Structure 1
Amino acid sequence: MKKYKSVVLIGMPGAGKSTLGVLLAKELAMDFVDTDLLIQSREGKTLQEIIDGSDYLNLRRIEGEVISSAELPSHVIATGGSVVYSAEGMVNLRRLGPVIFLHCSAEELRRRIHNYESRGIAKAPGQSFEELFAEREALYRKYADITVDCDGRDLQQVLGRVLEALDSL
């Protein structure tokens, strides 16, 4: 019997939160939700359109509002990479269940992400990927109950590590 209501996945864009989240939801017999889709549904715009129409801080504000009020029992929750900027949102997510940080090195993420400038990533104008990575890394570690290293592992191996970690809770 599971000891948690939901499972929350955090990490950088390209870490595999959404892809892994679907598989994890199947394994745990839970629903799956991608919080980026909740934001887009509420706003009627893509993340990049939100940024283009205002700025990255507005996207972070909207994300914080959506996450802070989210009631998602029995879900695997794949979050946007910037979710960790909302302390109130993270309090709500941690209330729902364990937070798992899918850690990938900057080099691995660079191999996976080819649309950094147009992906809808909430970053300061001119902020490099490496600067964003360094800024967020400390926040991911701060909020994570579990950290799973994804470098050099395929999806099934990462899924196995996540399930093992959840079993040990």
Structure 2
Amino acid sequence: MKNIVLIGMPGTGKSVVGRALAARLGYGFVDLDDLIVERAGKTLPEILRQDGLEAFYALEEAVGTSLDREDTVVATGGSMVLYPAAMEHLRQNGVAVWLETPLSQIDDRMPEDLTDRGIAAPAGMTLRQIYEERRPLYAQYADVIAVSLEGAEETAQQVLSLLRTVDIHL
């Protein structure tokens, strides 16, 4: 059975929606950020501050290209779409669902210092610039686009309905 791979900006609810989806489907759940933290032995902000952006990118890409799961809802980091090989690997046995969220809502959920949230981006890059850089990549890799709704359960139900509508068999 196919995995459901959630993509989208940080703050769109990929982790909470992913857990709700997994519970509804009887699937496993994995947050790739957790796997990065596990491999590095430090938090995302610590990796970014101590090891730098390139080291973070290398770790994230390695996690994305090596994931081997079935019947799992996968919450990716917001920057996973920067790695074509990782996205192709994740989509080999998965359907990519973009949780699209308006920038204004994402902005409300983010701390002033994006590194505090573990957001991987070059120093000085604004949330709007990150959004504008990644938005075409989310669109490119998405098999399905779901608008992030108020509440994880509602968004999870919408994702399931969309998957059925486009006749994607899980």
Q: 1:140 aligns with which of 120, 130, 138?
A: 138
TM-score, normalising length: structure 2: 0.92
Q: Is the 8 A contact 1:39 1:66 kept in 2?
A: yes
CA distance in 1, matches of 2:18, 2:143: 17
**Alignment-derived partner of residue 2 in structure 2:** 5
1:157 CA drift (Å) = 2.3
Q: Which runs of 5+ in 1 are unaligned?
A: none
List per-residue Cα deviations over 1:88-139 (Å, max 9, x = no partner).
1001100121000000011010112235241111000000111011101111
Secondary structure at the counterpart of residue 117 of structure 2? coil
Q: Which runs of 5+ in 2 are unaligned?
A: none
Q: 2:18 aligns with which of 18, 21, 24?
A: 21
Secondary structure at the counterpart of residue 116 of structure 2? coil
1:156 CA drift (Å) = 2.6
Spell out structure 1 runs of 4+ moving beyond 6 A.
none
1:53 CA drift (Å) = 1.4
Structure 2 residue 161 is the aligned partner of structure 1 residue 164? yes
Root mean square deviation of aligned Cα = 1.2
**Alignment-derived partner of residue 121 in structure 1:** 119
- Identical-pair percentage: 36
Q: Is the 8 A contact 1:57 1:122 kept in 2?
A: no
Q: Is the 8 A contact 2:28 2:73 kept in 1?
A: yes
Q: 1:98 aligns with which of 82, 95, 99?
A: 95
Structure 2 residue 67 is the aligned partner of structure 1 residue 33? no
Distance 1:61 1:102, change over 3 A: same
